[in-house]
Chain A
Amino acid sequence: MVLKGVSKFFGEVKAVDDVDLQIDEGELFFLLGPSGCGKTTTLRVIAGFYKPDRGSAYFDDRLINDIPPYRRNVGMVFQNYALWPHMTAYDNVIYGLKVRKVPVSERVRRAREALDIVQMREFATRYPNQLSGGQQQRIALARAIVTEPDVLLLDEPLSNLDAKLRIETRREIKRIQRELGTTSIYVTHDQEEALSMADKIAIMNDGRIEQIGAPREIYSKPINSFVAGFIGETNFIEGKVSSIREGDGLMTIAAPSGDEILAGVPHGSFSVGQEVLCSIRPESIHLMDVSPGLPRDQFHEAEIIHLTYYGVIEHYIVRVFGGREVKVTNFNPDVKRRDDGERVLLAFDPEDVDVFPF
């Protein structure tokens, strides 16, 4: 599945802007981005519901721009499931096989198999309004896979489920996708969903693709400040490059407050005096009570403004002397060791500081 330079406009609005994508056979590929970023539009271009205004879409080497949706052999799971209310679950599933004029005996067998895969065999005779949200979701999935599509498209399939069911269903979808080996494109705005399920993620913003990569790569090596800010939490600190060390390439960055930050991961080439944006993840910052014996530009004095306890983590807002507030995450906080108003030292590894052009 390949998109080359695909753009789609709605009036003056560029919904999708010059998007290039390549999705490999059998891959579970995620389109992730904030709402309105163009991810659903991209999916609908692939499904054939929208024609791209520019660029082309290919299955293997076949140009599909002008192929109507019903000849594309894609399966689609809609956000609202779009189960036909006048048909039973079984009729919903078997419909695509009837349309394809699959012989009756095979039709029945395949419909049953699909219902088995989603574990909904015993609900086959129910109508959609007699099924719970999770069950409807499964039927929608069965309906999409029963025709053995070349590509499976999932448009925020879990957004209408409650939190617990969502996590269960994630595993379920992943299992089915592995089992069938169907190339799948999954649209979501939920980064946890993307990070936990994807083989590869494309981060979209404003109709453009910002970064494509495996989940770990996207999280730990964001290529720009949008990705760094969108995936996970981070602290952005503006500053100016004050020196670049020979040899190890570490940079010292002067924050407006007068602090110096030692940063190790430049994205692009920088020169002294240039304005930059540093990103440090809250979990990369360590809180200490006594000086760790590090150089002065690797730790900072600060005061705890607010501490929030979440069970598995605790979350601090601290104010670094000089004025800036910083988020810090501490794992496994089994004992309460600090309180609001206390003074602490912050330390972090230069390798955890990403620097982006400002």
Chain B
Amino acid sequence: MDRDAFIIFLCLMAFFGAFLIFPILYVFRGAFFEGGRFTLTYFMLMFKDPFYKESIYNSVVIGVFATLVTSLISVPLAYLMVRYEFPGKRLMQGILLVPLVMPPFVGAIGMKQLFARYGSVNLLLMQLNLIRRPIDWFGGGFWGVILMEALHLYPFLYLNLSASLANIDPTLEEQAENMGSSGFHLFRTVTAPLMLPGYLAGSIIVFIWAFTDLGTPLIFEYRKVVPPIIFSMVKDIWVNPMGYALTVLTLVIAVVFVVFSRRYLGRKNYEMMGRGHIVPRIRRVTGWRLPLVYLLLFVMVMGALIPQLSVIITSLAGDWFLTVLPTTWTVDYYRTVFTHSVTVTSIMNSLKFSLASTSIDIVLGVLIGYLLARKKFPGKDLLDSISMLPLSIPGIVIAFGYVAAFSGTALDPFIDPTILLILSYSVRRLPYTVRAAFSGFQQTSVSLEEASSSVGASPVRTMISITGPLIMANVLAGGIISFSAAMMEVSDSMILALREEYYPITKAIYGLNLRLGDGPYVASALGIVGTVLVACCLLAANKLLGKSMGELFRA
């Protein structure tokens, strides 16, 4: 055992204890204790009250449906993209990931313009005399939420699926063919079961995200789901304990799903024993199938890009009243974004918070990655699980816990949420940098460090000139992912930033959207500015890491 490592471990545990475990326990206390006595009153109330009951039901159904829709999109897509070769494939690989960059609730602003009662789509259909009355496309918001979640989240599933598909040893399928299996039978009996771990890993991300997303239902003004209810209860956190109960329920459902899938994954984690020279099974698409593939991909790309396009159109719309497309175009809203005090402040705030949280993530990520990869000390497994824990805890739970636990303390978010925002951003994205640094250390053979030591370099010197440069690309890429996630973070920002001067970009978008007049247009422009910032960051990460960037989004 290493004494220094153990001391650092204790410090890290204190950090996680204070900013991850304590707020969650605090929420539990609020949900189950009244005046120091255990009670199930609030929990019972949650399942008796028809409004709460319906909302909980809606949330779960939205999660399940979003997962189903993403599955329908991602499975064929992954199979096509991994197993077939066709002109333009590389470009497609890039485009398919675009939805990752824009949070679904920003897309929702544009989609609302397009699919509103008298929005572009209905107007177009009416002009073409295809319909008489406008269609309610979003089913009062319910289907709108599902659609937006699916369009935003399918890359997570697609990336996980492609990875596990690409990882399948081709000889396994060749052996099956050798024994007479082919076509769909081969897929059903060999390929699909081997893809299952990737499917589960990706679909659990999709489910939890859709289940706990706060921004999208807010934009669709669809209030009968759990996250917006929790959001509205932050204001009266001291008088109404139902917020605590709902938060606990959200956490429990999320954790149950994660644990369930991990259990299943644990049993089904196949070791691929690829040996020697492997010829991947990639077929070229030719003849009549090629147009079919392009048609399919066109539909996919349109689906994936419509939200972003709708936001771009909205942000550039001059006059747009009862016409399919705006009658005039303008860049005024972008001018507003860069001059208006709320928007400028929000951009500065987001940059400030995200830089700070990313710095924390990099320092802690490297430290934890180093301890996990190189040191032996009691509690190592605990450190491993706890630093990955934020992946399975919905943001809304942590944010609500922060408000509950730190109100009235020096960190009170009602007064100045800066520190809590930074901490919540960094705690939630820490798994990315930990994982990046850990894999960096793992790829760097210990003997490289020992070689340095054997020619006389001190540990510090070795860190600076050998290990540092070798893990740098990984750590930076992890940091950029964490930074871009923080820039467009929704639930922490919505819940913790309670005063306008501390609004980050996302909360400013939400606030602007509620404003009458040019609100949604300025909000869209701000959304585009934020998205472009994030896109640039991700491109940089991609450059740094080469092909492996997709891995950072996998569970």
Contact = CB atoms under 8 A, between A and B. Distances in A.
A95 B469 contact: no
A74 interface: yes
A86 interface: yes
Interface in A53-80: 68-76, 78-80
Interface in B424-467: 445, 447-448, 450-459, 461-462, 465-466
A76 B450 contact: yes
Contacts, number: 71
Given A86-B469, A86-B470, A95 B448 contact: no
Interface in A73-118: 73-76, 78-80, 82-86, 95-96, 99-100
Residue in B445, B450, B456, B458 whose Cβ sees the most chain A Cβ within 10 Å: B456
Interface string A135-170: 000001001101100000100000000000000000
Contact of A78 (B450, B458, B469): B450
Given A95-B465, A99-B461, A82 B447 contact: yes
Interface residues of B, number: 19
A73 B451 contact: no
A69 B452 CA distance: 10
Contact of B456 (A47, A71, A79, A153): A71
Contact of A99 (B445, B456, B469): B456
Contacts of B450: 47, 49, 69, 76, 78, 82
Contacts of A85: 448, 470
A95 B447 contact: no
Contacts of A48: 453
A100 B456 contact: yes
A127 B4 CA distance: 35
Given A85-B470, A86-B470, A80 B445 contact: yes
Interface residues of A, number: 30
A76 B448 contact: no
A85 B466 CA distance: 9
Contacts of A86: 469-470
Interface string B456-486: 1111011001100110000000000000000
Residue in A48, A99, A153 whose Cβ sees the most chain B Cβ within 10 Å: A99
B448 A84 contact: yes
A199 B440 CA distance: 42
Contact of B451 (A68, A72, A84, A100): A84
Contacts of A143: 451, 455
B442 to A, nearest CB: 15
Contacts of B453: 48-49, 68-70
A117 B363 CA distance: 43
Contacts of B466: 84
B458 A70 contact: yes
B454 A70 contact: yes
Contact of A75 (B455, B457, B458, B469): B455
Interface in A202-261: none
B451 A78 contact: yes
A85 B459 CA distance: 19
Nearest to A92: B451
B456 A147 contact: yes
Contacts of B470: 84-86
A57 to B, nearest CB: 15
Contacts of A68: 453
Contacts of B465: 95
B378 to A, nearest CB: 14
A289 to B, nearest CB: 50
A74 B448 contact: no
Contact of B454 (A79, A80, A100, A144): A144
A147 B455 contact: yes
A160 to B, nearest CB: 13
A47 B454 CA distance: 7
A72 B454 CA distance: 8
Contact of A82 (B445, B457, B461): B445
A174 B93 CA distance: 55
B305 to A, nearest CB: 39
Residue in A47, A70, A143 whose Cβ sees the most chain B Cβ within 10 Å: A70
Contacts of B455: 70, 75, 95-96, 99, 143-144, 146-147
Given A78-B450, A86-B470, A96 B445 contact: no
B216 to A, nearest CB: 44
B454 A69 contact: yes
B467 to A, nearest CB: 10
A9 B304 CA distance: 59
Contacts of A72: 454
Residue in A71, A82, A100, A144 whose Cβ sees the most chain B Cβ within 10 Å: A82
Contacts of B459: 70
Residue in A74, A80, A95, A146 whose Cβ sees the most chain B Cβ within 10 Å: A95
A65 B490 CA distance: 56
A82 B456 contact: no
A147 B445 CA distance: 22
Given A85-B470, A86-B469, A86-B470, A76 B445 contact: no
Contacts of A100: 456
Contacts of B445: 80, 82
Residue in B445, B448, B454 whose Cβ sees the most chain A Cβ within 10 Å: B454
Nearest to B461: A99
Contact of B457 (A47, A95, A140, A153): A95
10 contacts: A70-B457, A70-B461, A75-B455, A79-B447, A80-B447, A95-B452, A143-B455, A144-B455, A146-B455, A147-B456
Task: Sort A-B residue pairs by CB-CB distance and give the 5 closest, nearest first.
Answer: A96-B455, A82-B447, A76-B454, A82-B451, A69-B453
Interface of B: 445, 447-448, 450-459, 461-462, 465-466, 469-470
Given A96-B455, A143-B451, 11 more contacts: A69-B453, A70-B454, A70-B459, A70-B462, A76-B450, A78-B451, A85-B448, A85-B470, A95-B452, A99-B456, A100-B456
